[in-house]
Amino acid sequence: MPIYHYRAADPGGNIIQGTLEAREERLVVLHLQQGGLVPLRISAEEAGAGWQSGLLPRTRGRRVPAKEVVQFTQELAALLKAGLPLDRSLQALHGVTSRPAMKAILAQILRDLQGGKTLSDALARHRIFSHLYVSLVEAGETGGFLEEALSRLAEYLKRVSEFRSYLITALIYPMILAGVGALSMVLMLVYVVPRFEAFFKEMGQTLYWSTSVLLALSHAFRSYWWLGGLLLALAVMLLMRLARTPRGQLTLDRFKIRAPFLGDLNRRVAAAFFAKTLGTLLHNGVSLVPSLKVVISSVNNRYLSRSLDGVLENVQKGQHLSVLLKKVGVFPDLFMEMVGIGEETGHLADMLLTSAESLESDARAAVQRLMALLEPVLILVTALVVAFIIVSLLLPILNLYEIQF
C-alpha cells in the first residue's frame, strides 16, 4: 500500500506531521478526522519526498513560489474552518514554515494584525499577494465568510497555476525538437560539408546547382558566423528595448492577440482567465464594477487591458457587459453569448465560471491540435533539409562513378 505524508492541526492549533500507510487518500483523511485532527495537506510517497525536503531549512533565495502561496491559502482556510482564530492560525503556519521569505512575510502579517490592521490590508503590503487575492480576502472579511473565500481562492489559484503549467509544458518538446534539428544542420554545415569540399575540388568536374549552393552556404556560415551572431544579438537587443517602451509593449501585445494561428489560442486563454477571475470575484460577493477593476488590473496584455478600459467606463454608466465585450472584438462569440444569458437570468457569476471551464477545455484542445501539427512539421522540415544536404553531397560522387563506369 502507498505511504502518505500528512500535515494536520489538532484542536489547540498545533501542527502535527507524520506518515500513514493506506490504500487511498480518502482513508487517510478519515483516519485523521476520527482522531480529532484537521487535515491540512496530504501527499503520496512520490510527492512526499519533495514535500519533506521543502521542510528543511534553506538559506538561499528569497523568492516565494506560487505553489507556496496556494498551500498557505489552503491551510489557512482549513484552520479557520476548524474554528481556530485568525491570529492563532497564522502563528501555527508561521511555526511550521521553513522558507525564510514566507516566514518573514507571515511574521509581518502577524505584527500588522496585532497593530489593528485587517488581513486584507496586511496582505496588500506584500507583492506575492496579487490585487485579486487581496480583493477576495477583503470581500470575505466584509461578508463574514473569510474561510470560504480563502477556499475558493486556493482552488482558483491552483487551477490557474495548473493551466499555465500545462501550456508551458506543451511547448517544451517542440522547442527541444527545433533546437536539436537546428544543431544537426549547423554541425553538418561546419564539419561534414567541408570534408567533401576538398574532394570535389580534386574531382575538377562541374557541380550540380544544389551542391554549389550547399558549399557556398557552408563557406558563408564558417566565414561570417560572427556577423550572423552580431545581427542576431542586435535584433534581440532592439526587441528587448522595444518591449520596455509603452508603445512597443502595446504593439507586441496586439500582435499576440491578432496573430494568425496563435492569436486564436491567446484569445481563448485570455477569455478563460477573464471569465475565471471575474466569476470568482462576483461569486464571492464583490460587485461588478470593483470586480472589473481588479480583472483589468490583473490582465498582463496591455492591448487587451486598454480595450477593457472602455468597457469599465460604460459599465459604470449602466450599459450591459455582454454588449460592450462584443464591441471589443477579442473574446469568442460563444463566451459573449453566455455572458449575455448570465446577465438576463441574474446568474452572471455562475455563467462566467461555466464558460471559463469550457474555454479552458477549448484552449487545451487547441494546444493539443497545435502540438499535433507542429511536431510532424518540425520533423518533416528537419528531414527535408538533412535530405537536401545528403543528396547534394552524394550527387557529384554518383556522377563521377557513372563517368568512370
Structural domain includes residue 143: no
Together in a domain, 16 and 82: no
Q: What is the CATH number of the domain that holds 104?
A: 1.20.81.30
Does residue 196 sit in the same domain as residue 320? yes
Do 384 and 247 have their domain in common? yes
The pLDDT-based confidence of 56 (bands split at 50, 70, 90) is very low
Same-domain check for residues 26 and 71: no
Give the per-residue pLDDT at 54. 33
Phi-psi map region of 130: left, alpha, beta (phi>0 left; psi -120 to 50 alpha): beta
pLDDT reported for residue 59? 32
For residue 140, being part of any structural domain is answered with: no
Name the average pLDDT for the chain.
79
Q: What is the DSSP code (8-state) at residue 15? A: E
| Residue 153 lies inside a defined structural domain of this protein | no
Are residues 24 and 83 both part of a single domain? no
With contact defined as beta carbons under 8 Å apart, do 66 and 164 qualify? no
**pLDDT above 80 (res 19):** no
105 plus 45 within the same structural domain: no
Q: Do both 23 and 69 map to the same domain?
A: no
Q: Please provide the distance, in angstroms rounded to a whole number, between the alpha carbons at the two ends of the chain.
A: 73
For 133-174, the pLDDT digits (tens) are: 887 788 778 777 788 778 878 887 887 788 778 778 877 888
41 shares its domain with 69: no
Domain termination site, one of 34, 56, 78: 56
Tens-digit pLDDT profile for residues 212-248: 888 888 888 888 878 878 888 998 888 888 777 878 7
Residue 199 covered by a domain: yes
Instruction: Assess whether pLDDT exceeds 50 at residue 300.
Output: yes
Q: Note the pLDDT of residue 51.
A: 33
Q: Rounded distance, CA 308 to CA 287, Å? A: 17
Q: Give the pLDDT of residue 162.
A: 80
The total number of structural domains that make up the chain:
3
Same domain, 323 and 255: yes
Cell output for 155: 482552488
Q: Provide long-range contacts, Cβ within 8 A and 24+ apart, for 159-168.
A: 159/276, 159/360, 160/273, 160/276, 161/66, 161/67, 161/70, 163/272, 163/360, 163/363, 163/364, 166/364, 166/367, 167/269, 167/363, 167/367
Q: Are 19 and 6 in contact (CB under 8 A)?
A: yes
Q: Is residue 151 part of a domain?
A: no
Bigger pLDDT: 82 vs 7: 82
C-alpha cell at position 23: 490504500
In a domain, 142, yes or no: no
pLDDT band at 47 (very low <50, low <70, confident <90, very high): very low
Same domain, 30 and 67: no
Q: Which domain holds residue 16?
A: 1-56
- Per DSSP, the three-state class of 17 is strand
Specify if 168 maps to a domain: yes
Same domain, 219 and 197: yes
Calpha distance 400→405 (Å, rounded): 8
Whether 324 and 295 map to the same domain: the answer is yes
In a domain, 152, yes or no: no
